[in-house]
Chains A and B, each alone.
Chain A
């Protein structure tokens, strides 16, 4: 994925609505701030204005900011804002034999949300689990309590693979079907996972050391 696209055809279309969504919480917060300044200066406020300025508008602003933050945290750029993730991301956009690179360079997962696509489980629970995991990762980064090389915590959840592959004709074809049925119990029990065993490792080992990834 080049840094200098040849034309707009090679640029991710993006989501214009997200770029404007932040306006609503900002507007709510500004109105709430104005009411609070009045309350601070006068030392008294009507009950309705008090509840609106201290509770309702700030709660609305925070709820909408949470939506913006949740949406923004699905972007790869959010993940790579932590320095440890930059080499991992670089390895996904590089042509190599890792499973992530195979998917990203072929456009099988959206490049703008490649991390989130593979590292969040299925449905709303998957999203919440991903956010909790991300918060833990952030804490480890801030506190410096991470270990290198980076390791996936537990077995990689195959729901991330099955959400795309489960109903594909190639996955359900004779040889592939037989091969997966042979290890079905272990896969479904979480004792084994798709990546790093039968299929290539998700990321090359040199991308997990925290050092710059050499392409």
Chain B
């Protein structure tokens, strides 16, 4: 949609230069109409991109309400579009201690066991995040996270998520607050 709006805008600027550099009425006036029309179309595409209603599936809506309620449905739909839904069987390692975290996961169903230095630390359930701290800081996982059962999660590539958030500072800040809240909840469960 961004590429389309940019392309239509570029097309609209061609008649603008014709308007300015052609001095005869029979070309300057038609080019004026063409240029304004194309610009109107570009602005309509822009408005649609910015304000189109967010469409979330039941599963996405449930995850939004559980873990991302502070985000607008539009912002959450943007995040969903960046990620992929993933089904993991029992015993699958989502992170390994000391290794770079490549993907961030939010659990929609199932459970994940977290352990460090051979000791079990806790269990994560639906709505909780795995590897989220790596979005904003540590690139290596401090602990191992292994699925205990059939698990469904919404996952993002850390690299892609960071790049997307670079262009959206307000979403970045909102997501940072959500990650902090998630980490706080995990710490409270340990005390």
B43 in contact with A59 (CB, 8 Å):
yes
Contact A65 to B43, CB < 8 A, known contacts A33-B10, A40-B6: no
Any A CB within 8 A of the CB of B16 = yes
Task: Return chain A residues, CB-CB under 8 Å to B20.
Answer: 22, 25-26, 65, 68-69
The complex places the Cα of A43 from the Cα of B24 at a distance, in Å, of: 38
A210 within 8 A of B: no
Name the one of A32, A77, A81 contacting B9, with C-beta atoms under 8 angstroms. Answer: A32
Q: Which of B2, B7, B25, B32 contacts A44 (CB 8 A)?
A: B2
Asked whether A58 and B39 contact (CB < 8 A) given A82-B24, A82-B25, the answer is yes
Proximity string of chain B (1-28) to chain A, C-beta cutoff 8 Å, 1 when within and 0 when not: 0110111011011001101100111101
**B167 x A54 contact (CB < 8 A):** no
Could you say which residues of chain B place their CB within 8 Å of the CB of A51?
A: 46, 50
B25 contacts A43, C-beta separation under 8 Å: no
CB distance B26 to A46 under 8 Å?
A: no
The answer to whether A45 and B9 have CB atoms under 8 Å apart is no
For the complex, is A96 an interface residue (Cβ under 8 Å from B)? no
Are A54's CB and B46's CB within 8 A?
yes
Q: Are B24 and A81 in contact (CB under 8 A)?
A: yes
Of all chain A residues, which has the CB nearest B164? A44
- Is the beta-carbon distance between A46 and B9 smaller than 8 angstroms? no
Q: From B35, which residue of chain A is reached at the shortest CB distance?
A: A62
* Interface stretch of the complex, out of A8-16, A135-143, A187-195, A196-204: A135-143
Question: A interface, by DSSP: helix, strand, loop or mixed?
Answer: helix
**What CA separation (Å) do A73 and B36 show in the bound complex?**
18
Q: A36-B6, A40-B6, A135-B29 known; A29 and B16 CB under 8 Å? A: yes
B-side contacts of A79, CB under 8 Å: 25
Among B51-78, those with CB < 8 Å from A are none
Known: A81-B23, A82-B24. A54 touches B13 (CB 8 A): no
B83 to chain A, nearest CB (A): 16
Residue B89 lies at the interface, judged by CB distance under 8 Å to chain A: no
In the complex, whether B30 has a CB less than 8 A from a CB of chain A is yes
Q: Does B168 contact A (CB under 8 A)?
A: yes
Query: Which listed residue (A59, A65, A73, A141) contacts B26, Cβ 8 A?
Result: A141
Q: How far is the CB of A202 from the nearest CB of chain B, in Å?
A: 20
Is the beta-carbon distance between B6 and A65 smaller than 8 angstroms? no
> Contact at B23–A61, with CB atoms within 8 Å?
no
Docked CA distance A35–B6 (Å): 8
Q: In angstroms, how far is the closest chain A Cβ from the Cβ of B174?
A: 14
**Interface flag for A103 (CB, 8 Å):** no
Q: In the bound complex, what is the Cα–Cα distance between A35 and B7 (angstroms)? A: 11
Closest B residue to A51 by beta carbon equals B46
Known: A32-B13, A65-B20, A81-B26. A55 touches B164 (CB 8 A): no
Who on chain B is nearest to A81 by CB? Answer: B24
From B6, B26, B36, contact of A54 by CB (8 A): B6
Which residues of chain A are within 8 angstroms of B17 by Cβ–Cβ distance?
26, 29
Chain B residue contacts of A82, Cβ below 8 A = 24-26
Nearest residue in B to A131 (C-beta to C-beta)?
B29
Say how far B17's CB is from chain A's closest CB, in angstroms.
Answer: 7
Among residues of B, the one whose C-beta sits closest to the C-beta of A22 is: B20
Q: Of A50, A55, A62, A135, which contacts B2 at CB under 8 A?
A: A50
Give 1 or 0 for each of A39-78: 1 = CB within 8 Å of chain B CB.
1100111110011011100110110011011001100011
Query: Hey, which bits of chain B sit against chain A, CB under 8 A?
Result: 2-3, 5-7, 9-10, 12-13, 16-17, 19-20, 23-26, 28-30, 32, 35-36, 39, 42-43, 45-46, 49-50, 164, 167-168
Ordered by A's residue number, 11 sampled pairs between the chains whose C-beta atoms are within 8 Å are A29-B13, A37-B6, A39-B6, A44-B167, A47-B50, A53-B6, A61-B16, A65-B16, A65-B32, A78-B23, A138-B26
**Interface contacts beyond A40-B7, A40-B10, A55-B46: sample of 4 additional A-B pairs, CB < 8 Å, sorted by A:** A29-B13, A33-B13, A39-B2, A47-B167
